[in-house]
Each structure stands twice: as C-alpha cells, then as structure tokens.
Structure 1
C-alpha cells in the first residue's frame, strides 16, 4: 500500500503538457484570397519548410512552370539549405519567403503540446520564436517577412494578438494539401487539384523522401492545366496591418548593432 501511494504521489507531481484540442481553446485560422472569377480563378500556394531538406519534385515544378508561391521557412531549414534559399531569392517575381519560426515550435503562450510538439509556452517564448525566424530570413538576404505561420498552424488567441502587434499577419489557409506531408501521393494530388477560386493551399516542401511531395507537384500541375492563376500572399491580399510600421528586427543573426526597420508598405 505504501508503494502504491508513493507512485501516486510521484505521478501527481509530474507536469505533463496537455494535448491541444477544442477544450484547450486553440484556433486554426482560415485564410482565403480575393477570387478572380470563373474566367480567371486565383489560388495562393503556400509551402512550409519546417526543417530537413528541400523537395525538388515540388520546387522543380514551380521553377519550370514559373508558378508563384509563398514559402514559410524556419531558421533550421534556412541554415541547412542555403543554396536552395539563394535559388528562391533569384526569382523574387515568383517566390515570397516568409516566417515559419526559429525552432518550429507552436505559437501558443502557455505550456501544452500540439500534435505532440511542445509549444513555446509563454508570451516571451512566442516572441522569440517569431523574431528568431525573421532574423534568419533577413540574415540570408531576404526582405523582412510580413507573414508568420507557426508550427502546426494552431495558436492561442492571445498569441495571435501579440504576433499581430509585432506587425505580422497570421498565415492561415483553406485547403490542407498534404496533411503535414503525411498523405500518400494520390490523396495529396486529389486534395490540391480540387482547390477552388480564392483558396489558400498549405503543403510541405521539406520532405523529399515521402510520397506526398509527388502528389503535391502533380496537384499543382493539374491546377495550372485548369487555367488557375497562382498568386503569392502579398499579391492576393492587401498590405499588412498598420502595426508593421516601424518594427525593427535585431539580434545575434544580424551584424552587431544593426537594426532593420520594416516598412508598412
């Protein structure tokens, strides 16, 4: 009996992050763009580069067909794929590089886990995740990002408010193209090919060993064959919120003492 109470006491003393769910009050924002109409349907393609390598099946399709896309990168991915980043930067007419965070942790300002990934856990940690990702993007030679998408694309409402105060827009979506690169190729292709005028697609460009990427590339091609016009988020929506004005990014990834102010325009 004493042994039972000892184990019970130890179990009660452990703090285990909760799994995100409806009861946790997290939100997964939806985002759409202005429709082009039946004669000129428009879709925004957004691709997450969380960590790992680059999926050339998808990138090759984008470069060959000159398809615009918004790429959300983490610090980890930028550091691992500098040559790919340079290729994306060589076509600023096609690619918009935006902020996916420093360490790919969910932008939730209290202790819990989202799909098994420990969240940032505090307002300060959320801010560090956002700004750390932005510093890496700027240090790599890209413009200061305007958009943020956190790991898992789920947020606490208070974290969203703070991120928007920092001058970012939250990049939601309306079509989940590959379920975190977890779908088989045929399912990913079907989901993406079924996107409608005004949709914002989310898919992943960092899992070249998974079959999902093949389906993503085929789905994108199918949409182009249907006559869809692809647009980046910066073209599909109005300018970022007024809170962006005057925001400065500084930190260890920038030259000593340098601050890069961001314009609202």
Structure 2
C-alpha cells in the first residue's frame, strides 16, 4: 500500500536501507481467454469506509479480500457488519494492529515509522490477528503490512507465524493518492491473473470513485473476481502457494 506523499517520497528507493527491502509480487492462476479473472484486494488501514466501493461490491456481487487493521475494525463496526453479512463476497485478512511496516531499523518507510525489531513486528502481526478474530471470528490466513515493503527477516517471521504474505501485481490507486480517472484506468486495464491492491478507507479522496468505476469496467470486459482463499496463488519467484 502507499500513502499520499510528496513527490520525493514517491521516487524513494528501498535500497536506502543496508539490506534492500522486498516488495513481494503475487499473482493468481489465470482463468484463460474465455474466463479471465483477477483478485481484488482492498486495504482498510485506518479512518473510515468508502461506501462507493463497498456498495459497488455488494450491489454487483463482486468478491474481494479485505485487509483490516485493529484500528480500522474498532472504528467501522457498521461496515464490518455488512461484510460479515455477505460471507460469499468478503474474505477478511490481517493488515496489522497499528498499521506499521514490517521493517527492521528506524528509517521511515514512505514516511511511516517502521516496527523496528522482530519482537515489534511479531506484536504488530499477532495484534492484527487477535483483533480480527475478536471482531469477526475469522482466523487470518494472509498478512499484508503497511507499505507492502518488508525486511527479509520479517518475511520469514510472518511465514513462521503460519501466514502467507499478500503481495500484489497491480497497484490500482497508489495509496488512494491518484485521481478517479487514473485509478479507474489502471484497474480497468488489469490482466488475467492480476492481484489488484487498492484502498477502501479513504472516502474523501477521488481515488475511491475510480476504484468503483474500474471494478465495473473490468466486469463489463468479462472478468471474474475471486478471493485469495478461493484460488491458486503464485509468489514473487513463481512458487506455488498453498490453496
């Protein structure tokens, strides 16, 4: 995920760290020319709920995987109830407790202070798991951190906690920082097998309208939408992840 930042941060490189950070790629199995498919993943970091997106998903019976933080869960009970009322559409997964990067050290990542230590990363991941289980009864299978950048050791830790790391292949809204038109264009031009990342927690930003429009444009192109839990996934190195 990405936050709205000044231009210098947008071109910032993870190589500024002693050990390069990793930004995992994730794809799903192709549906083929007759049945192209994508996985729509939405981050709910903090703040509110973009009803333009949520209503589009419910009204059009479009499945999505939503990564929620403990902070977002505590403030959005109504939206959570809507999602739980449609278990055939919404897969809820772990986005952490406080929305901090799973990165070692003290250097900010896209302006966000990292967890810093493995103990703090573990607390962030497990805090998100506990909050999700308490609020929804759902046991997480996937984890996505703030910024979608990770220290290599953090990735090993997340896997040790029996969670898969949710990368992506198409950034739909650049942390909800893009215009509605740019966001819609990106999502509408997704390819078969893409995992799309966008945000559902920024109702005041134009990007949310673009997410909704892009979803409908993909549907009009004949694309199907699947949740991560319902499809074979492939990691950055092409390895098959467990279904």
Give distance in 1, aligned partners of 2:137 and 2:80.
9
Give distance in 2, aligned partners of 1:22 and 1:236.
33
Structure 2, gaps ≥5 residues long: 1-11, 234-241
Aligned partners of 1:20 and 1:26 also within 8 Å: no
Give distance in 2, aligned partners of 1:174 and 1:210.
23
Tell me if 1:193 matches 2:188: yes
Q: Partner residue of 1:70? A: 65
Q: Partner residue of 2:95? A: 100
Tell me if 1:47 matches 2:56: no
Larger Rg: 1
Deviation at 1:227, TM superposition (A): 0.8
Give distance in 1, aligned partners of 2:75 and 2:138.
19
Q: Give matches, 1:6-85, under 5 Å.
A: 21-24=14-17, 25-85=20-80
2:108 aligns to what SS in structure 1? strand
Q: What are the Cα deviations for residues 113-134 of structure 1, in whole angstroms up to 9, with x where unaligned?
A: 1001000000000000001011
- Paired positions, count: 223
Aligned partners of 1:105 and 1:129 also within 8 Å: yes
Q: Give matches, 1:1-265, under 5 Å.
A: 21-24=14-17, 25-237=20-232
- In the TM superposition, structure 1's runs of 4+ consecutive aligned residues that sit over 2 Å from their partners are none
Give distance in 1, aligned partners of 2:13 and 2:159.
22
Over the aligned positions, Cα root-mean-square deviation in angstroms equals: 1.5
Report the TM-score when normalising by structure 2.
Answer: 0.89
Give distance in 1, aligned partners of 2:215 and 2:156.
33
Structure 1, gaps ≥5 residues long: 1-18, 239-263
Give distance in 2, aligned partners of 1:44 and 1:226.
15
